[in-house]
Amino acid sequence: MTMPRFENKYRIHEDVAMEIERVAGFHIETDKHSQSGAYPVNSLYFDTPGNDDARETDDGIVMRSKVRLRCYALEPKPPFFLELKQRFGSSIYKTRVRLDPDDAERMACGLPPVTTYQRSSARQELDSIREVIDRRQMTPRAWVRYQRRAWTSSWGDGARMTIDRAVETQMLEHCATTGLGAGGWMFAESDPRAVLELKFFGSAPRWMQSLAYDFELERTSCSKYGMSLCLVESGPMISGQVQAS
């Protein structure tokens, strides 16, 4: 598990997002994964039989968690990472382990991994995430993907800024990492469409505080998975649809 991190989220319009990128550019450097622009983030979310994780953000639950199988490609492909993200008040803790592709396939089918991992830390991390999945009777629910631009602080304090756009989702209709729904990817966006995240350790850097003040940003609870599930269930609210390639 990583040390606690703080994470402020904001829903912003595209014109505001572009101006924030310009202003913040004096304090941040492009993340190594974002050198060519935005990169895809694709996650298979697990949830309880009652979809508790999808609803806890909107319900204002201050102690909540999410389990996801994540990769960095438009269509699911290795490397895969199993993550447990836990929120305790305003503090964020993340446990993350890289999975063997066969184990990722099994996890996407709701089956336990079988690989024996050499690193003791990897075994411990995997065991801790599996304990949460088993205790809460969680199963794979939906894929959520989006385009992310990311920056890191120029001041060496570990602060990070990301802007996510073009959120899409589809429900898992059958198992396997390649088992995407026949209906294709659906846009799961509502105005404002961009999601700004300011992440830091300890107190927010002054430049982040200035951004929030100068642009009159209002913090919001924003779960891309929860938003996706809500829009899928509501049907008419979905803003568009594309077929899976």
Q: What is the pLDDT of residues 70-109, one digit of tens each?
A: 999 988 889 999 999 999 887 899 999 999 999 999 998 8
| pTM exceeds cut of 0.85 | yes
Torsion sign over Cα 73, 75, 81, 87: positive
Nearest CA to 223 among 37, 49, 7? 7
- Give percent above pLDDT 70 in the chain: 89
By C-alpha distance, which of 139, 146, 149, 245 is closest to 188?
146
Give the residue, 221 or 201, on which the prediction is more confident.
Answer: 201
The residue-averaged pLDDT of 23-36 equals 93
> Which three-class secondary structure state does DSSP give residue 211?
helix
Tell me the per-residue pLDDT of 148-162, one tens digit each, with 9 for 90 and over: 999 999 999 999 999
Backbone angles phi, psi at 29, to 5 degrees: -125, 145
Is the pLDDT score of 228 beyond 50?
yes
What's the confidence (pLDDT) of residue 245? 30
Reduce the DSSP state of residue 170 to 3 states and report it. Answer: strand
Residue 230's pLDDT band, with cuts at 50, 70 and 90, is: confident
Task: Could you list the beta-strand ranges (E) of the chain.
Answer: 5-12, 28-30, 39-47, 63-71, 80-88, 91-99, 139-153, 160-171, 185-187, 194-200, 240-242
Region 5-242: CATH code = 3.20.100.30
Give the domain ranges of the chain.
5-242
Question: What is the per-residue pLDDT across 172-217, written as a single tens digit (0 to 9) for each?
Answer: 765 556 555 445 788 887 778 899 999 999 999 999 999 999 999 9
Contact 40, 146 (CB under 8 A): yes
Q: Hey, which residues does 195 pair with through a beta bridge? A: 11, 164
- Strand, helix or coil at 180? coil
